[in-house]
A = this chain, B = another copy of it.
Amino acid sequence: MQGKIEKCDIICVNHDAVERVTKDMMDNEFLQKMAGIFKVLGDPTRVKIVHCLSKEELCVCDLAQVLEMSISAISHQLRVLRDRRLVRHRREGKIVYYSLDDHHIVNLLRECEDHVNHD
């Protein structure tokens, strides 16, 4: 897996730095979760959905209309968001209303927003 690392050992690698950073490394499971959260938001459609739902509760049709996309596409993405517990759903007759389950996520959006603005 690590092809030419042996030749690197003596000259190039800063062992102290490697040891320091390795010691402070978060464990793999934690990092996987972090990357997971970023990945969910790493799609324009899903960011839009989350942004919309941060304003108010909406049904699938509403979202499809706002995003100008097919209902099926929206529903698929809502399922992803639901699996990750970002979004909650509530049935009222035939209509299913979606809202943010995890309002903490909005902070991430805002932070990212600031970042883009500060560019």
Q: Which residue of B lies closest to A35 (CB)?
A: B44
The oligomer's copy count stands at 2
A94 at the interface (CB under 8 A from B): yes
A66 at the interface (CB under 8 A from B): yes
Give the distance in Å from the alpha carbon of A114 to the alpha carbon of B33 in the complex: 12
Chain A residues near B (Cβ < 8 Å): 1-5, 8, 12-14, 17-18, 20-22, 24-26, 28, 30-44, 46-48, 51-52, 55-56, 58-59, 61-62, 64-66, 68-72, 94-95, 102, 104-105, 107-109, 111-116, 118-119
**A3-B70, A12-B61 are known contacts; what are 4 more A-B pairs with Cβ within 8 Å?**
A13-B65, A25-B48, A35-B47, A108-B111
